[in-house]
Structure 1
Amino acid sequence: MTAPWLVLGATGGVGGSLARYLASRGQSLLLSARTSSRLEATAQELSSLHPGSRIRLRPADASKLSEVRALASWVGEQTDSLAGVVHAGGRVGWHPELTDEGFDKTFQVNYLAPFLLDFLLEPLLRKGPSRVLLVAGAGFTLRGFPRPASLLPRQPLKPLDGSVWSAIAKVHHALELGRRLKDSGGLAFAFHPGFLKTGMTREAPWPIRAAGSLGNFFLGDRSRTGEFLLDDPAAAQLSGGLVDGRHRSSFTVDPEKARELWNASLQALALDGS
């Protein structure tokens, strides 16, 4: 049996787009998102359109690390290997907020939760030539990042800082994860998905919310870059970097800082990386 793909944020936007793409190719899917009802509706739609794709569901809220750990355990019960993971869930930090674990909420949802999940699932990813995709952003927007060891904020970040910092952290994560998976044929990418319809402005101040709703009328519903990274052999040469279109972005990170952030994240989450 073919190893399944795990898709986070599968109910819309980039995650929904890539879940549809994988289902259309008959891939087995493990889908996760925060809202059970939307997740079930997504699964019903995909199953009706692509009956050859086996779909299993597990809701999880990335703002609660206990649910991320439970999701990893559930994945391990479903399969002993993974074809890949698509990290497309996320939020924009319009208002400063901490999680119960004491981290900036946007930074935890967008970076710490994916890091934790990948760390816990690494043994399954190493069973074959897997691919890990992390939605980041356009390279020109990623600036002002502190030293990784001083990152991991235990206080709310300024509006939008959590989004930018977590996107930069994911580029570092892709570099280090790609290095760790390389000997098993694994690949890892941070990528700018293009401009798609999303719900990212639902919690924004009303002028931004209104502009976001209007903008969605003019945006598409496919991430061509994401589709390319999922299964195109030519994508292999881009592993470990930020991908925009079909090219590596000019925004790059230092391998030493990527390892530093990995180790700092292990420490912050009390994980044993030995």
Structure 2
Amino acid sequence: MANMNGKTVLITGGTDGLGKEVAGKLASLGSTVLVTGRDRSKGETVVRELQQEYGTNAVKLFIADFSSQEEVRHLAKEIAGRYDRLDVLINNAGLGKTEQTLTDDGYEMTFAVNYLAPFLLTHCLLPQLRAAKSSRIINVSSGYQADGELNFDDLHGRKEYDAWDAYSQSKLAIVLFTYELADQLKNTEITVNALEPGLVPGTSFARHLPWHWKFGFHVLSRLPARFVRTPKKGAETYVYLAASPEVTGITGEYFVDKQSKQSAAKSYDSELRKRLWDVSVELTGVSSNIPIQQRHRKTPEGEQSWQEKP
């Protein structure tokens, strides 16, 4: 791994499980690590533990609930007010809900936290990412992205809700976002990649699972190491993408065990990517200043070219 002295890293969901492990590893490489959590008391405890374990004061806590777009925007504003640049953004925070739950913004909780929040936060922090000499965006997906289907007629499960469908939909969406954003930023010094951490029992994700899924995770945790990961093993690909010189300039890829792999075939559908992007812009209200290439969209009057306003 490269020396990360002078680098600033933001990892969402960094006060538990894999996020905590990654935060510690990146702090040990010399970077200033900003972690987010929802519980201030717990977050302050975790930060003290990391500072003591790695002998550094360069782990900082920010509080935000990623189910609230207002709090995501406030988080971005708070970070921008304290840091002129951001070298690495790791969109790690995630959950799965047993029952359909709507956020205060009116969106399905799993889709909002696992996908819309990273979409919004990334846009809000683009000025800080651009200010770095080169920067990296890392989006955390899952092998279950292969099971995902985007139901644009019912993204929020109002007609019919299935917890697993909601989770896999959100993880497919984050891969589609990764590829689309990488394309749009290909003429910049910002790279965008996704990763699959593998099965890591005991992480905070399991807190929101139904009892039979939790039992399944408990059983899986008893399997040989080749089937499941410890947090230390699960963190390796995060740290590799954040700090390794081997991936300098590599963008728009999906990584498993520090290797670029093929994601689900549907994730390479450019029209699906663009449709999701347009819906996401509408749902988050972002005013994207990304230099977007000319696109073509079918309308009742025929196919027309258009460009999003900066």
TM-score when normalising by structure 1: 0.90
Q: Which residue, out of 224, 231, 243, partners 2:236?
A: 224
The letter of the residue matching 2:261 is R
Q: Which residue of 2 aligns with 1:202?
A: 207
The letter of the residue matching 1:153 is H
How far does the alpha carbon of each residue in 1:172-200 deviate from its partner, in whole angstroms, 9 at most, with x for none?
11112222333332111111012224122
Alignment length, in residue pairs?
A: 272
Q: Which residue of 2 aligns with 1:58?
A: 62
How is 1:141-152 mapped onto 2 (pairs within 5 angstroms)? Answer: 141-146=146-151, 150=153, 152=155
Q: Which residue of 1 aligns with 2:49?
A: 45
Alpha-carbon offset, residue 139 of structure 1: 6.1
Q: Which residue, out of 243, 255, 274, partners 1:243?
A: 255
User: Distance in 1 between the 2:155 and 2:131 partners?
Assistant: 30
1:94 is the counterpart of 2:98: yes
Q: Which residue of 1 aligns with 2:268?
A: 253
The letter of the residue matching 2:81 is E
User: Distance in 1 between the 2:178 and 2:281 partners?
Assistant: 15
Which stretch shifts more, 213-222 or 57-66?
213-222
User: Distance in 1 between the 2:219 and 2:263 partners?
Assistant: 31
Q: Which residue of 1 aligns with 2:108?
A: 104
Q: Which residue of 1 aligns with 2:76?
A: 72
How far does the alpha carbon of each residue in 1:61-114 deviate from its partner, in whole angstroms, 9 at most, with x for none?
111111111101111011111011111111112111111111111100100011
Contact 2:7 / 2:32 at 8 angstroms: preserved in 1?
yes
Alpha-carbon offset, residue 24 of structure 1: 0.9
1:153 is the counterpart of 2:156: yes
User: Distance in 2 between the 1:54 and 1:68 partners?
Assistant: 22
Q: What is the percent sequence identity of the aligned residues?
A: 28
For the pair shown, the structure with the greater C-alpha radius of gyration is 2
1:178 is the counterpart of 2:177: no
Unaligned runs of 5+ in 1: none
The letter of the residue matching 2:62 is R
Q: Which residue of 2 aligns with 1:233?
A: 245
1:137 is the counterpart of 2:142: yes
Alpha-carbon offset, residue 131 of structure 1: 0.9
Gap change, CA 1:84 and 1:181, over 3 Å in 2: farther
TM-score when normalising by structure 2: 0.80
Unaligned runs of 5+ in 2: 224-228, 289-309
Gap change, CA 1:84 and 1:140, over 3 Å in 2: closer
